[in-house]
């Protein structure tokens, strides 16, 4: 499979996909939901990938929410007849007409983010999606179905939408599905993860509604004019993929297919192989400077009750203790715990424990939780469970301080950036301060509405 594609290519004929579907027994999509949220990167994604599902949701009386991240204003960059503003207005109107056919009572949100630049606007995208999702929570989160473009659709905006939406939905324990759009064009049956495929057979009414809705996206299925640069984005061969009588979705990766959290044995072995300051905490200026920066970001002079996750040998713990009422410091590695206990023995207010998160979580509530250089050791599932634990035990006026290395490490289940993406998706949390370097992220979170240091001291 090629690394790039052009919408002008003939692409894979629909007959190839039709033959593949005929030879497979596809699992049916479980359409038992109360709320459907369809997130699209561009106008028409919602119709192409989930038009039938939207019509089904409207028919069964579910709440329907459609979120369009960009206005698709970059669809015809060389157009001599339509500038970006004109295309944006045109495409919003087309979405409104399409949704009026598919789900007339749907709540539609146009985020207006720049087409092609969602990676640069991830923070805004995340914030807007979190707010929309939280309005539509139900008593049973498994009755909320969220659908977004497939992360492997080979479109940059589709990947960003999928990653951000998946993180937010996972934390809220919503059902998450992905819908391919461009994969039908550039891909072959060998490119689809069939073990994750579920299908929604469309009734005649749903199929007709989807086709009618697609016809409303005139700027995409027809030329803007007869001049070069105004060609149709979706030629007839591409449109054929969305006239089929089923819609295909991909379920989320199963937990056992994801990277696993690193075991305590790994850390014990690391300390055995590198017994003399294995992480360079004591010898490296990088580590000394990072600790100083972390301590400087703490928004309160008095830290109250502190829980430090992953205390290592206790260097940071020793500097937290004078500002705390009580500190619980935890680490999974035996050697680290022994060194930390020896270092902190004179500190009566510090308790060093051996354990791992999320399973060995201490009881009580904490005013300050230090989550430093630990999140990328956790699987996505364990990270989400840990964030739930933090949320449940964080004091009303408490702070979470997170600091993580940004460079990729082969053994680690996640990157520091992925960890902070998950942190920013916790409902009700707000970033108080953010320090970004090429090497690490340092971020402080508090419950909304968070107060700055100046606000806490009456200066603002």
9 pLDDT exceeds 90? no
Q: pLDDT for 68-82, tens place per residue? A: 999 999 999 999 999
**Domains of the chain: residue spans and CATH:** 14-253 (3.40.50.10320), 264-456 (3.40.50.150)
pLDDT for res 397? 94
**Using an 8 Å Cβ cutoff, are 47 and 102 in contact?**
yes
Confidence of residue 280 (pLDDT cuts 50, 70, 90): confident
pLDDT for res 285? 94
pLDDT for res 200? 97
* Mean pLDDT, residues 137-150: 90
pLDDT for res 33? 93
pLDDT for res 198? 96
Confidence of residue 17 (pLDDT cuts 50, 70, 90): very high
Q: pLDDT for 408-426, tens place per residue? A: 887 888 999 999 999 998 9
* Mean pLDDT, residues 220-237: 95
pLDDT higher at 458 or 109: 109
Pairing relationship of beta strands 175-179 and 144-149 according to DSSP bridges: parallel
pLDDT for res 172? 83
2 pLDDT exceeds 70? no
The beta-carbon contacts of 302-305 under 8 Å, at least 24 apart in sequence, are: 303/367, 303/368, 304/366, 304/367, 304/368, 304/395, 304/398, 305/364, 305/365, 305/366, 305/367, 305/368, 305/395
99 pLDDT exceeds 90? yes
Q: Is the dihedral of CA 52, 56, 57, 61 positive or negative?
A: positive
Q: pLDDT for 151-185, tens place per residue? A: 999 999 999 999 899 988 887 889 999 999 999 99
**Using an 8 Å Cβ cutoff, are 402 and 372 in contact?**
yes
Q: How many other β-carbons are positioned within 10 Å of the β-carbon of residue 443?
A: 21
Distance CA(293)–CA(416), nearest Å, equals 17
Dihedrals phi, psi of 236, to nearest 5 degrees: -60, -35
Confidence of residue 258 (pLDDT cuts 50, 70, 90): low
256 pLDDT exceeds 50? no
**Listed residue (104, 102, 64, 99) closest to 205, CA to CA:** 102
Q: pLDDT for 300-340, tens place per residue? A: 999 999 999 999 999 999 999 999 999 999 999 999 999 99
pTM: 0.68
Distance CA(248)–CA(182), nearest Å, equals 13
- Mean model confidence pLDDT for the chain: 92
Distance CA(225)–CA(82), nearest Å, equals 9
Partners of 40 in the β-ladder: 68
pLDDT for res 3? 47
Confidence of residue 4 (pLDDT cuts 50, 70, 90): low
């Amino acid at each position: 499979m090629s690394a790039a594609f052009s919408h002008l290519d003939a692409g894979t004929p629909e007959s190839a996909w039709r033959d593949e579907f005929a030879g497979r027994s596809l699992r049916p999509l479980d359409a038992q939901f109360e709320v459907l949220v369809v997130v699209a990167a561009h106008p028409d994604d919602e119709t192409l990938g989930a038009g039938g599902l939207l019509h089904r949701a409207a028919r069964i009386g579910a709440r329907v929410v459609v979120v369009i991240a960009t206005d698709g204003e970059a669809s015809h960059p060389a157009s001599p007849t339509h500038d970006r503003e004109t295309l944006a207005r045109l495409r919003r109107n087309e979405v409104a007409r399409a949704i009026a056919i598919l789900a007339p009572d749907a709540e539609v949100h146009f985020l207006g983010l720049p087409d092609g630049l969602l990676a640069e606007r991830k923070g805004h995208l995340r914030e807007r999606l979190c707010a929309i999702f939280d309005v539509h929570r139900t008593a049973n989160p498994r009755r909320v179905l969220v659908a977004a473009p497939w992360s492997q659709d080979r479109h940059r905006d589709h990947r960003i939408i999928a990653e951000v939406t998946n993180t937010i939905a996972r934390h809220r324990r919503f059902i998450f599905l992905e819908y391919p759009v461009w994969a039908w064009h550039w891909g072959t049956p060998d490119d689809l993860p069939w073990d994750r495929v579920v299908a929604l057979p469309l009734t005649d009414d749903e199929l007709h509604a989807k086709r009618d809705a697609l016809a409303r996206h005139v700027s995409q299925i027809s030329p803007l004019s007869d001049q070069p640069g105004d060609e149709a984005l979706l030629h007839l061969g591409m449109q054929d993929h969305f006239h089929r009588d089923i819609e295909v979705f991909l379920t989320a990766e199963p937990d056992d297919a994801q990277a696993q959290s690193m075991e305590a044995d790994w850390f014990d072995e690391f300390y055995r192989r590198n017994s003399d300051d294995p992480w360079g905490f004591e010898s490296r200026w990088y580590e000394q400077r990072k600790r100083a920066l972390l301590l400087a970001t703490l928004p309160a002079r008095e830290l109250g009750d502190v829980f430090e996750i992953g205390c290592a040998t206790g260097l940071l713990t020793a500097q937290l203790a004078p500002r705390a009422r009580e500190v619980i410091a935890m680490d999974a590695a035996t050697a680290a715990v022994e060194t930390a206990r020896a270092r902190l023995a004179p500190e009566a207010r510090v308790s060093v424990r051996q354990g791992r998160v999320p399973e060995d979580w201490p009881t009580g509530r904490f005013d300050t939780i230090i989550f430093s250089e630990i999140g990328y050791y956790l699987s996505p599932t364990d990270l989400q469970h840990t964030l739930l634990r933090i949320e449940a035990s964080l004091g009303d006026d408490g702070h979470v301080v997170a600091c993580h290395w940004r460079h990729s490490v082969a053994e680690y289940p996640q990157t520091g950036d992925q960890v902070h993406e998950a942190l920013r998706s916790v409902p009700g949390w707000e970033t108080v301060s953010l320090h970004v370097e090429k090497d690490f992220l340092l971020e402080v979170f508090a419950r909304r509405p968070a107060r700055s240091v100046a606000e806490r001291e009456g200066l603002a």
